[in-house]
Amino acid sequence: MRFEAGQTIVRRLLHPGGRLAGCVAGRVVADDANGLLTWIDARSHRIDRVPIEGRSVREFRYADALRMPLLPRLTPWYAGTAAPQC
Residues 11-29 have pLDDT tens digits of 998 878 888 888 999 999 9
Q: Could you tell me if 20 and 12 are in contact, meaning their C-beta atoms sit under 8 angstroms apart?
A: yes
pLDDT at residue number 48:
85
**For the chain, what is the HEC assignment?**
CCCCCCCEEEEEEECHHHCEEEEEEEEEEEEECCEEEEECCCCCEEEEEEECCCCCHHHCCHHHHHHCCEEEEEEECCCCCCCCCC
The verdict on residue 23 lying in a domain is yes
What does the pLDDT average to over 35-61? 86
What does the pLDDT average to over 31-37? 95
* Other CB atoms within 10 Å distance of the CB of residue 36: 14
The verdict on residue 15 lying in a domain is yes
What total number of domains does the chain contain? Answer: 1
The verdict on residue 60 lying in a domain is yes
The verdict on residue 86 lying in a domain is no
